[in-house]
């Protein structure tokens, strides 16, 4: 029997967006937790600041090396499996680091956390590409990418408090505990959506009505699919696609009877991706993806250096307590959440990532300059202002970059492009 798309007028539940945000938050919460307790870890493990840096380096090296391979898998394996690898991988990393208090074991845990992180962008970008209308994707990308800053907020506010009472071992067990409800919720939400997609899909294919030119009408190309990413039909994790009219999360897409005009830049990007679909699905990625990849790398070199060492810098250079340094990360997370959501909406209106990335990069330079001045003058307001610039501008560049990737490639290549 064959499956054919139907068109139920049903919106995707808002909890799906929460699951996407959780998937983005859970991946980096390990390194954010390590960063929030950096001074405690350096002291309790008897390591240098350079050795501490190797912990976070291990996370990013593993994530970077695994991302190309796992990005390809993200286009093929079931969404639930990928979410399990994200939440379960971080859970295992926390448990491992809590079980044996050894620097070598902490490095191994960092590698596991990096492997889990490498799935976050491919699977969430693919869900956005399949389920969200082109004109609304930038808003969803903003909310989704803000999940990273939610992880930073949670780690900054909770890990120093737990660590002050129970040390890194207690904080790691707390981090593992956080992953359990996220794993259960993500699995159940995706399972329910996949079941609904199968139940609403007819089991026979009716003959298409011929158009005036004698051809069957082509399905609309800007319709999101209700089927979540999975392997080809007939596999153990089958997820039948269902075409929806306005099926995206509440509060993001237009309501019934409303029509949102496409932004010229996004329409052009989408049209280009559609025109390259056949070639891109089996050939090389478009040059825009490689340019955005380079941009993402350069942005990460600056932003992750601040994220990783901000807490340790606040304790060692500015004389803050570990708790106040964690509060600094929490403020960074709050500003980062708002900036990613806001810049996501700006991206949707403007449709061109280049000028936005330029502005964000300049903001990062200003922020780093303020942090240097804060250390040399011991002016605390410069420290907080520098962190605010960092969180509001360069830290939000990821949403612009990912929006550009989603717009530049066909849906079947989102995973490997991400």
Question: Is pLDDT above 70 for 13?
Answer: no
Question: Is pLDDT above 90 for 222?
Answer: no
Q: How far apart are CA 284 and CA 261, in angstroms?
A: 31
Residue 275: per-residue pLDDT: 44
**Mean pLDDT (whole number) for 262-281:** 44
**Mean pLDDT (whole number) for 171-176:** 95
Query: Confidence class of residue 112 from pLDDT cuts 50, 70 and 90?
Result: very high
Q: How far apart are CA 224 and CA 167, in angstroms?
A: 47
Question: Which residue reads 């005036």 in tokens?
Answer: 212
- Which pair of structure tokens corresponds to residue 388? 């605010």
Q: What is the DSSP string of 133-197?
A: -GGGHHHHHHHHHHHHHHHHHHHHHHHHHHHHHHHHHHHHHHHHHHHHHHHHHHHHHHHHHHHHH
Question: Is pLDDT above 50 for 292?
Answer: yes
Residue 266: per-residue pLDDT: 44
Tell me the fold of 14-198+284-417. Growth Hormone; Chain: A; (1.20.1250)
Question: Which residue reads 């990308």 in tokens?
Answer: 141
Q: Which of 160-174, 287-301, 326-340 has the lowest mean pLDDT?
A: 287-301
The torsion of the CA quartet 390, 391, 397, 398, rounded to 10 degrees, works out to: 130
Say how many Å lie between the first and final Cα of the chain, rounded: 34
Residue 175: per-residue pLDDT: 95
Query: Confidence class of residue 245 from pLDDT cuts 50, 70 and 90?
Result: very low
Q: Which residue has the higher pLDDT, 405 or 24?
A: 24
Secondary-structure breakdown of the chain: helix, strand, coil percentages, each rounded to the nearest 5: 75, 0, 25
Q: Which of 44-48, 149-153, 155-159, 208-212 has the lowest mean pLDDT?
A: 208-212
Residue 3: per-residue pLDDT: 39
The domains of the chain are located at 14-198+284-417
Residue 192: per-residue pLDDT: 87
Question: Is pLDDT above 90 for 382?
Answer: yes
Q: What is the DSSP string of 244-311?
A: -SS-S-TTTS--TT--PPPPHHHHHHHHHHHHTHHHHHHSPPPHHHHHHHHHHHHHHHHHHHHHHHHH
Q: Are 43 and 168 in contact (CB under 8 A)?
A: no
């Amino acid at each position: 029997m064959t499956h054919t798309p139907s068109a139920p007028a049903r919106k995707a539940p808002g909890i799906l967006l929460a699951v996407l945000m959780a998937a983005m938050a859970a991946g980096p919460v390990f390194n954010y937790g390590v960063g929030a307790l950096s001074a405690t870890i350096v002291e309790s493990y008897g390591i240098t600041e350079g050795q501490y840096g190797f912990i976070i380096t291990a996370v990013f090296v593993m994530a970077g090396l695994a991302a190309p391979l796992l990005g390809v898998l993200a286009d093929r394996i079931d969404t639930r499996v990928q979410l399990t690898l994200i939440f379960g991988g971080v859970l295992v990393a926390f448990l491992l680091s809590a079980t044996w208090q050894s620097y070598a074991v902490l490095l191994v845990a960092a590698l596991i956390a990096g492997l889990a992180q490498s799935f976050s962008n491919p699977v969430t970008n693919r869900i956005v590409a399949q389920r969200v209308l082109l004109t609304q994707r930038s808003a969803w990308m903003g909310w989704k990418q803000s999940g990273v800053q939610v992880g930073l907020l949670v780690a900054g506010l909770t890990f120093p408090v737990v660590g002050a009472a129970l040390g890194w071992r207690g904080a790691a067990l707390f981090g593992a505990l956080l992953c359990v409800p996220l794993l259960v919720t993500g699995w159940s939400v995706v399972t329910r959506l996949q079941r609904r997609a199968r139940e609403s899909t007819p089991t026979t294919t009716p003959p298409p009505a011929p158009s005036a030119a004698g051809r069957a009408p082509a399905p609309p190309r800007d319709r999101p699919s209700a089927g979540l990413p999975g392997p080809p039909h007939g596999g153990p994790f089958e997820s039948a696609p269902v075409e929806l009219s306005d099926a995206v999360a509440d509060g993001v897409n237009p309501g019934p009877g409303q029509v949102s005009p496409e932004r010229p830049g996004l329409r052009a990007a989408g049209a280009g991706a559609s025109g390259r679909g056949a070639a891109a699905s089996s050939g090389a990625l478009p040059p825009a993806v490689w340019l955005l990849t380079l941009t993402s790398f350069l942005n990460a070199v600056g932003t992750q250096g601040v994220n990783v060492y901000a807490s340790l810098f606040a304790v060692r250079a500015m004389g803050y307590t570990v708790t106040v340094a964690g509060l600094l990360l929490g403020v960074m997370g709050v500003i980062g959440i708002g900036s990613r959501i806001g810049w996501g909406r700006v991206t949707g209106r403007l449709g061109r990532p280049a000028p936005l990335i330029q502005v964000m990069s300049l903001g990062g330079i200003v922020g780093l300059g303020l942090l240097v001045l804060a250390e040399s003058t011991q002016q605390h307001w410069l420290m907080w202002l520098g962190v605010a610039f960092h969180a509001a501008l360069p830290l939000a560049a990821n949403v612009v970059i990912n929006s550009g990737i989603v717009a530049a490639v066909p849906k079947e290549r989102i995973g490997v492009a991400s």
